[in-house]
């Protein structure tokens, strides 16, 4: 079954009671049992819910995985993975990553004796040289947030296998439409499903997808015990969003391509990050492991201090200044004070997250309107 068909049908069946084509919202906390322990596969909705199960099965199918877990947020999914670790363990991760991931690594789990080592994951030598006998997890974003560096998923997978290290890829920026890390050697895929998977900026959700049954059972134990699970209404909305993922991603990619070309030669742009350009350092890796180059672009404004950057970011009429990404609407984000504000300034700037950098989530509006909006803000 190909991607578009899986997005619409995987995990979803006509309701056996009414024949309803769309998966119902099972708005229930508990389920009738014929006798203690004798039930129809559902006991209590913190653990399992039919609407959420349909979503999890669809997510697994889209990532070519066997098991899916949906969470109340991407951070809840991240937290569940980190619960596999013990004091003294080390995590190898990227030096350019989402501020919320950096925050949970350094402000929450570091205090329990877990060490986080930040390296440039686009540099394979740096990755391998940072592995020690205490490394238990490699956590990779690709493309990275927000400077869009590319990590070679397959090559890092070989490193992880060589040293018997659990390997997780945050696939939020690409979506399963553009790349499938499990096929390239990852043990697990993580998504902030809030973004492209749901695609309509009306749900906060996370997801994990994997193939290893024993690992799935470990994660499910934490999933149920801690309770970071989404409600059925959110699961229904995310399932609805998945049905158009393939057509949305085509539009995101095409619009981003045209906007990137427009911005590349604009006199007000000092630097542009978009992996579709041949001179992007990760272009060849992107071509190898992605089906297109995505809908995310970051730019550094020329000769703009923080005040001027704020002024520019606040003048858009079609783009919306807001956190998040991956919705049908185009968004402008100022990482240094918004999504990456929890990262110390020196650490941000070391990887290029400077005060005059803006991150653009290109939506699926008419691209002419988007370019006109950029024109009226940036001028000549």
User: 22: number of CA atoms within 13 Å, CB side?
Assistant: 13
Q: Which residues contact 35 (CB under 8 A, 6 or more apart)?
A: none
For 197, phi then psi, to 5°, come to: -60, -50
**Does residue 152 have an active-site annotation?**
no
**Does residue 46 have an active-site annotation?**
yes
Catalytic residue among 46, 115, 264, 271: 46
Catalytic residue among 6, 52, 136, 195: 195
Distance CA 110, CA 249 (A): 36
Does residue 194 contact residue 339 with C-beta atoms inside 8 Å? no
**Residue in 364, 172, 362, 173 with CA at minimum distance from that of residue 251:** 364
**Does residue 248 have an active-site annotation?**
no
Catalytic residue among 57, 79, 98, 149: 98
Report the 10 Å Cβ neighbour count for 233: 12
3-state helix, strand, coil in the chain (%, to 5): 35, 15, 45
Tokens 């900026």 locate to 201
**Does residue 170 have an active-site annotation?**
yes
Catalytic residue among 79, 170, 234, 292: 170
Active site residues: 46, 98, 170, 195
């Amino acid at each position: 079954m190909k991607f578009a068909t899986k997005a619409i049908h995987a995990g979803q069946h006509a309701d056996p009671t009414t024949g309803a084509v769309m998966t119902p919202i099972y708005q229930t906390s508990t389920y009738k049992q014929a006798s203690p322990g004798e039930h129809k596969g559902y006991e209590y909705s913190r653990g399992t819910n039919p609407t959420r199960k349909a979503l999890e099965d669809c997510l697994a199918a889209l990532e070519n995985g066997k098991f899916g877990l949906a969470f109340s947020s991407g951070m809840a999914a991240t937290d569940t993975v980190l619960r596999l670790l013990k004091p003294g363990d080390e995590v190898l991760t990227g030096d350019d990553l989402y501020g919320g991931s950096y925050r949970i690594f350094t402000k929450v789990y570091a205090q329990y004796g877990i060490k986080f080592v930040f390296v440039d994951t686009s540099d394979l030598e740096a990755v391998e040289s940072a592995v020690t006998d205490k490394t238990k997890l490699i956590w990779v974003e690709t493309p990275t947030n927000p400077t869009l560096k590319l990590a070679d998923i397959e090559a890092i997978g070989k490193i992880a296998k060589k040293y018997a290290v659990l390997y997780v890829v945050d696939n939020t920026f690409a979506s399963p439409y553009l790349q499938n890390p499990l096929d390239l050697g990852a043990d697990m895929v993580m998504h902030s499903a809030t973004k492209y998977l749901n695609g309509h900026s009306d749900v906060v959700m996370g997801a994990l997808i994997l193939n290893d049954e024993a690992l799935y059972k470990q994660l499910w134990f934490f999933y149920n015990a801690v309770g970071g699970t989404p409600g059925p209404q959110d699961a229904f909305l995310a399932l609805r969003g998945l049905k158009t993922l393939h057509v949305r991603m085509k539009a995101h990619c095409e619009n981003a391509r045209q906007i990137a070309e427009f911005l590349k030669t604009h006199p007000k742009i000092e630097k542009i990050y978009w992996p579709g350009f041949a001179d992007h350092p990760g272009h060849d890796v992107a071509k190898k492991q992605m089906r297109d180059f995505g809908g995310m672009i970051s730019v550094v404004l020329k000769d703009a201090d923080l005040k001027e950057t704020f002024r520019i970011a606040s003048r858009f009429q079609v783009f919306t200044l807001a956190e998040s990404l991956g919705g049908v609407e185009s968004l402008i984000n100022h990482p240094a004070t918004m999504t990456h504000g929890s990262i110390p300034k020196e650490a941000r700037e070391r990887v290029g997250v400077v005060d005059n950098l803006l991150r653009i989530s290109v939506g699926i509006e008419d691209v002419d309107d988007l370019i006109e909006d950029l024109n009226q803000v940036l001028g000549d």
